[in-house]
Amino acid sequence: MKSPVSLVRCTSYDSEDLDRSIAAAIELAGGFDPRGAIVLLKPNLLNANGHERAVTVHPALIAAMVRWLKAAGATRVLVGDSPGWQPQDFVGRKTGAMDAAIAAGGEWADFSAEAEFELPTGKMARRFRLARPLAEADLLVDLPKLKTHQLMYFTGAVKNLFGLVPGLQKSAFHLRFPERGAFAAMLADLALAALPDFSLMDAVVAMEGPGPNNGKPRELGLIMASRDPLALDWTAADLIGYDPATIPYLAELLKRMAESEAAREGRSAKDRQSPAWIGRADAIEVRGLALDEARPASFALVPILKENDFFHARMPAWLHRLVRDCTVPRPRFDHGKCLRCSGCVRICPAKALSLVPPREGGSGRVEIDYPKCIRCYCCHEICPEDAIELVRGPFPGPRPSR
């Protein structure tokens, strides 16, 4: 059976353009019925840097999606996300997401309270504590932004579900699963526990380069949608130039779907049946614009690291550490840009960062204990001033101030 993914042209965030494009994208993707349902709408609200930098879903798109859901018969539309370290309401106000959702008839949902979700078939995690509104809702509508990502290379519908994990608890997952493959497998478990009913992607303006926070806005002029988040992300990654099979969490999910029908039977706390996600890449049916018609001429990607697990498994531990230090990028601070807001210090799961007090009239600085650094890139992801770059080489020294 084919899994439809819709690609619809939308060149602006004008409300009429969005209303028309969203309705077309949902219909082409096979639609879904929210009549009489409480719907949780989960946009990507990473931090307060906002839609101007393509960090967050545009508030006009959030409002348009709320309008569609209400017009289609949803009784309530809850809207929320849990940012990496900043308070949810602060991010909601700064990005315009909160006002947009409420003005359109939605309700701003508190993501600080938790509910337990079990996944007996989980590979890395069989239990998640996720935002309580997910347990209160009948349907979950995923509203991701198309962006690059330093750790996972690409982020879309599946990675956006990580925002269901409240606040700084996300750091604990990075600490539990510091390796790229293990973290990807955890994301696959999370997707099967949360089970989004529909996903609609903001690709009107995407992010390229060192995403998901410090890349550059890139106009693509697209709305993309699917009932299958794996198919949607696979198509979006292909669109911008990745081989989707090299995106760790996509490869992991596809493998699970291909291996066993039982992997599709994860249950949420409300015992909702998993949709039949694709088990083969050729099971995707692109509707609307052809993929090649929508494909940008170029797109700045995060380079894929080639990791030879067979070779690494036979290395002495000391040599493995040396090779890893030389080949896997590490964070380095531009102290001239750094505001010393301490967000990176608070979010660092390995406690590798510290805010050093001023010395001899200086302004203080963030210092890194490199042997502790697990290369999760949480610090880079949340830095509001793009004061952290990722560099290769063993124990890089501080970058000169500008």
Bigger pLDDT: 84 vs 171? 171
Average pLDDT over residues 285-304: 97
Q: Are residues 11 and 104 in the same domain?
A: yes
pLDDT band at residue 393 using 50, 70 and 90 as cut-offs: low
Please name the residues in contact with 106: beta carbons below 8 A apart, sequence gap of 6 or more: 41, 62, 66, 70, 77, 78, 79
Number of domains in the chain: 2
pLDDT tens for each residue of 25-34: 999 999 999 9
Bigger pLDDT: 67 vs 317? 67
Q: What is the CATH number of the domain that holds 340?
A: 3.30.70.20
Q: Tell me if 390 sits within 8 A of 380, measured CB to CB.
A: yes
Q: Are residues 174 and 282 in the same domain?
A: yes
Q: Are residues 166 and 245 in the same domain?
A: yes
pLDDT above 50 for 400:
no
- Least confident interval from 37-46, 209-218, 257-266: 257-266
Average pLDDT over residues 345-353: 89
Choose one of 245, 263, 294: the last residue of a domain.
Answer: 294
pLDDT tens for each residue of 214-255: 999 999 999 999 999 999 999 999 999 999 999 999 999 999
pLDDT tens for each residue of 20-72: 999 999 999 999 999 999 999 999 999 999 999 999 999 999 999 999 999 99
Q: Are residues 155 and 58 in the same domain?
A: yes
Residue 357 exposed, middle or buried by CB count within 10 Å (0-12, 13-18, 19+): exposed
What domain range is 278 assigned to? 3-294
Q: Tell me if 255 sits within 8 A of 209, measured CB to CB.
A: no
Helix (H) or strand (E) holding 250: helix 248-259
Q: Crossing angle, helix 180-194 and helix 248-259, to 10 degrees?
A: 60
Query: What end-to-end distance do the CA atoms of the chain give, in Å?
Result: 57
Q: Tell me if 60 sits within 8 A of 13, measured CB to CB.
A: yes
Structure tokens at 197: 């009913």
DSSP-assigned beta bridge partners for residue 129: 116
